[in-house]
Each structure stands twice: as C-alpha cells, then as structure tokens.
C-alpha cells in the first residue's frame, strides 16, 4: 500500500488526506492521541498494533505534521520521546467526529457513543453540521457536492 493511493491526489484533497491518514492504524492512532495518549507502549497496548507498523505510522504522522515528538523523562528513567498532537493534528477533530457520528448512527453498538464532543469550557455538547457563511446550520440532506476551482476541467 504505497502511501494509500494515487487516485488523483494531486487535485483531490480527500486523496491527499488519505495519503497520510488512509493507511491501516493511522486514524486510530490519531484517535488515541485525542484521548491524550502519547507513548509508544500506550498506542501499542490500546490498539494491538505491531511495533514495526507503529514505528512506521508514528514516523509518517510526525512527517505529516500531525504529531510531534516531545522529550519526556520519568524520574529514575532516561529521557525518551513521546508523541503529541500538533495544531494540524487537532484540526482532524472534525474527521474523527464525522466518523464517530456516522458509526453511531449506522453501525450502532449496544453501548452508545464512547466519545462525545463538548465545549471545552462549559461542557455543552456539540455536534458536527454543515453551516452557511453566517454560521447557521443546514441539514446534511440539503447539501450538494459541486465542482471547485481545483476540479479537473471537464473533458
């Protein structure tokens, strides 16, 4: 799986996102990172991912600017590095929220949502929605996909 796809990545921003996020484990690592996990062993234990694959994915996420290495030291231990989300990584929250909402709706578990999104300060529950330029919500069913400036000229 070279990166994740060629598929018009030059022009398609979804394909470009998938180049870095589309490989197995990548998005789950980001999900774990949003839960505050930072260390190799934590990712490994939580996800059950093979260590060589984890090494590769963490490296790619760092290269893509989604995670960054930060030195840490537990007392009595030598200095090691952990992985923390960058701004670009935190900007993936809508991707995770969208996946989460879809999974809850169309592939429900018996448990209810494991993660919810809320205002950092007030705790008010938040959800993802399409909004217009004024920030007013629109129903997803009313949304159409249209060609943007970067679309390939019609043949």
Among 57, 70, 61, 46, which Cα is nearest to 92's? 61
Q: Which partner from the list a copy of itself, DNA, none does 82 bind, CB cut-off 5 to 8 Å by kind?
A: DNA
How many Cβ atoms are within 10 Å of 39's Cβ, its own excluded? Answer: 13
Does residue 52 interact with a copy of itself by CB under 8 A? Answer: no
Q: How many residues does the chain have?
A: 155
Contact between 80 and 34 (Cβ < 8 Å): no
Does residue 71 interact with a copy of itself by CB under 8 A? Answer: no
Q: How many residues bind a copy of itself (CB under 8 A)?
A: 91
Smallest distance from DNA to CB 82, Å: 6
| Footprint (CB under 8 A) of a copy of itself, residues 103-142 | 103-107, 109, 111-121, 123-133, 135-138, 140-142
Q: Which two tokens stand for residue 124?
A: 């008010």
Contact between 8 and 15 (Cβ < 8 Å): yes
For DNA, the binding residues (CB under 7 A) are: 1-2, 23-25, 39-42, 48-53, 55-56, 58, 74-82
Does residue 63 interact with a copy of itself by CB under 8 A? Answer: no
């Amino acid at each position: 799986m070279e990166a994740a796809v060629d598929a018009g990545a030059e022009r398609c921003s979804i394909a470009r996102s998938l180049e870095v996020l589309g490989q197995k484990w990548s998005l789950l690592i980001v999900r774990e990172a949003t839960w505050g996990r930072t260390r190799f062993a934590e990712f490994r234990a939580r996800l059950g991912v093979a260590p060589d694959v984890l090494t590769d994915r963490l490296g790619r996420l760092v290269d893509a600017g989604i995670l960054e290495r930060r030195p840490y030291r537990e007392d009595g231990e030598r200095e090691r590095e952990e992985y923390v989300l960058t701004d670009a990584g935190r900007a993936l929250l809508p991707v995770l929220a969208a996946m989460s909402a879809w999974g809850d709706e169309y592939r429900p578990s018996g448990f209810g949502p494991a993660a919810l999104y809320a205002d950092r300060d007030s705790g008010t529950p938040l959800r993802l929605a399409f909004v217009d330029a004024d920030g007013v919500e629109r129903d997803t069913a009313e949304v159409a996909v249209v060609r943007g400036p970067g679309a390939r000229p019609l043949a």
